[in-house]
């Protein structure tokens, strides 16, 4: 599995809610054709595998933007929220991202070593 982990700060979306962003490749098919090294792009597959693992371990979650909307509407309607505080995901514009906090990201790294 190949991924990149970024510690979120104020330049990133969802930094108020999560600590890390795990990004998977946008590439599909052969990567590095110009260099002569053809490595299949497995970003969508790796993302799906990781998303399923997070769902099994930490429970179902929603898209990160949808979580913000749900929480805002729940606060406005004076209701409890049902969003998952451990993780969320993002797939818009073929950006395969998982947002998570420190313990969840550490467990993910132990389960799935990065193979760049």
Per-residue 3-state assignment (H helix, E strand, C coil) for the chain: CCCEEEECCCCCCCCCCCCEEEEECCCEEEECCCCCCCEEEEHHHHHHHHHHHHHHHHCCCCEHHHHHHHHHHHHHCCCCCCCCCCEEEECHHHCEEEEECHHHHHHHHHHCCCCC
Looking at residue 64, what is its pLDDT? 93
Q: Report residue 26's pLDDT band, with 50, 70 and 90 as the boundaries.
A: confident
Q: Report the alpha-carbon angle 65-113-107, nearest 5.
A: 60
Q: Which of 36-40, 62-66, 95-99 has the lowest mean pLDDT?
A: 36-40
Domain that holds residue 37: 4-111
The stretch 42-48 carries a mean pLDDT of: 89
The stretch 3-17 carries a mean pLDDT of: 92
Residue 116 lies in a domain: no
Return the higher-pLDDT residue of 74 and 17: 17
Looking at residue 71, what is its pLDDT? 85
Total structural domains in the chain?
A: 1
Helix axes 102-111, 43-58, angle to 10 degrees: 120
Residue 57 lies in a domain: yes
Residue 91 lies in a domain: yes
Looking at residue 43, what is its pLDDT? 86
Does the pLDDT value for residue 98 go beyond 70?
yes
Q: What is the mean pLDDT of the chain?
A: 86
Are residues 70 and 79 in contact, defined by beta-carbon separation less than 8 angstroms? no
* Neighbour tally for 94: CB within 10 Å: 11
């Amino acid at each position: 599995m190949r991924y990149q982990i970024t510690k979120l700060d104020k330049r990133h979306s969802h930094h108020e809610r999560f600590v890390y962003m795990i990004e998977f490749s946008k590439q599909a098919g052969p990567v590095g054709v110009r260099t002569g090294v053809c490595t299949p792009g497995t970003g969508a597959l790796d993302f799906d595998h990781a998303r399923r693992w997070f769902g099994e371990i930490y429970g179902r979650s929603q898209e990160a933007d949808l979580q913000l909307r749900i929480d805002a509407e729940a606060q406005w309607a004076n209701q409890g929220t049902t969003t998952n505080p451990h993780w969320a995901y993002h797939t818009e514009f073929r950006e395969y991202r998982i947002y998570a906090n420190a313990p969840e990201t550490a467990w993910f790294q132990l389960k799935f070593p990065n193979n760049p």
